[in-house]
Structure 1
Amino acid sequence: MAMVFIYLRGFKVWISYKTQVVLTVLSWTLPVFTYYFVGTSLGQHVVSAVGVHDYTQFFVIGLAFQGYMSSVITTISQRLRNEQLYGTIEYYVISKAGVTGFLTYSALWGFLLNTINAVVILSVGYALGVRYDVNFVSTGLVLITLIVSTFGLASLSGAFTMIIKQGNPVSFFFSTFTTLMSGTVFPVTVLPLALRYVSYALPLTWALNGLRDSMLMDASISSIWNIVAALLIFDVILVPLGIFSFRVAFRHAREKGTLAEY
């Protein structure tokens, strides 16, 4: 079943649109050059303003992994929306995989695509002079906890799509504001205090801090344990909440006869 969603329903469909593939890769790489030239042209002014030692290292890690949250959440909503438009949503959710299986397998393609995205951006960053000192155990643990929390948020986003069809507030927030709010291209410490509190309520903020330490400074698990613990709390809260919300929304849509409406 996973192969069907990842390879047949995901990769083969994606790769069949060659122009879209090229444009997608460009959309990954062009922001790296944008922020790189901003940083190099303004030089020490940018570094001192945002309070980081190496601005290129900072934003490369942020751009590489920001998509794990914003893009995956958007992907789940779009997949669910497309199936409603195609009239095939009933076949997916009443299949052997069930409601949770539909969410899980749909998320797998989003995670895989964003892994490719991260590799491309990290490679471009290396070509621009970023040097990584990776602790693979710490990096893997932070990524896993980030992915789990993202799955919970994606499930919650899917619940909104199931009910309101268009205008998903969860998808809109995480696709629009995560770059601003989660420390992707500048530290959250430069934000106003009220927005800083909102930022720390996002799993991505914690994950990016942990990834910068584990990928640039070889940080061990013990040295970033506070970050891992925060992400685990997000996981424990968001995954049950997301799955429960999606199941309730699915049951409500089925009882109202609006499951396939668009």
Structure 2
Amino acid sequence: MGTEKYFEYYILGIAYWNYVEAVWSSIFALRYYMRTGQLEDTLLTPLTPLEYILGWSLLGIAVTTITSLPLVALAVIMGVIGAMVSGVAVSVVVFLLSITASFGLAYLIFGLTLVIREGDEVVSLIGNMAPLIGGLYFPITLLPGPLRYLSYVFPFTWGVDVLRALLTGSRPIFGVREELLILFVLTLLYLMLGVLSYKFLERTMRRKGIQGF
């Protein structure tokens, strides 16, 4: 595992995943509009789908911050916040990259749900699988080979690993600099793929008249 501070290791993972989940919750909001037949009206308003997802994500982040105060208090008691002071700048950068990458991934998944009628099940499957293979509960180095390689495609795998290395002194998978570079590349990739795929799929669905379009 590379750390003797498993409790801090686990708390940090939980807090981090709460923010990722807050961004992903925007998908379920849009899926709700699809099920109730309100998606078309929603997309015809002055706000773009990108602005809707961004707004819901920011609201989720604000709510998560408030509900995470007990975890912050626990971290202060355990001295995690004190360890954070020395690496606060890098930690903030990692957090922002992680949220941006998760936002792009959420946008990509929502675009795919426009052509998959069982979109809720797909999102739930990814959401339930991601924390298990993304290093939330234990290091991904303990995963079997195929699952470990799959975990590499998730941006939060690298985000939480870097944060843990900075704040708890755990051993990173590769190295902090290397993982920061990987996280940056994945952030750009998912943001670009998310926007492009959604625009393509939206045009396709409007033309075919499927899923409320």
Aligning the two structures, in what range does the TM-score lie when normalised by the shorter sequence? 0.7 to 0.9
Aligned residues: 205
Identify the range of structure 1 (178-187 vs 90-99) with the bigger mean alpha-carbon deviation: 90-99
Structure ranking higher on relative contact order (CA contacts 8 Å, 6+ apart) = 2
Aligned pair partner of 1:83 in 33, 58, 68:
33
Q: Which TM-score applies when normalising by structure 1?
A: 0.69
Aligned pair partner of 1:153 in 88, 93, 105:
105
Runs of 4+ deviating beyond 6 Å: none
Any stretches of 5+ residues in structure 1 without a counterpart? 1-49, 218-222
**Counterpart residue number, 1:102:** 52
Matched to 1:66, the amino acid is W
Q: Which TM-score applies when normalising by structure 2?
A: 0.84
Identity among equivalent pairs (%): 24
Q: Contact conserved, 1:81 with 1:165, CA < 8 A, in 2?
A: no
1:131 maps onto 2:83 in alignment: no
Using the alignment, how far apart are the partners of 1:226 and 1:61 within structure 2? 21
1:67 maps onto 2:18 in alignment: yes
SS of 1:201 mapped into structure 2: coil
SS of 2:153 mapped into structure 1: coil
SS of 2:80 mapped into structure 1: coil
Using the alignment, how far apart are the partners of 1:100 and 1:195 within structure 2? 31
Using the alignment, how far apart are the partners of 1:165 and 1:126 within structure 2? 45
Any stretches of 5+ residues in structure 2 without a counterpart? 170-174
Q: How do 1:226-241 and structure 2 match up within 5 A? A: 226-241=178-193
Matched to 1:162, the amino acid is L
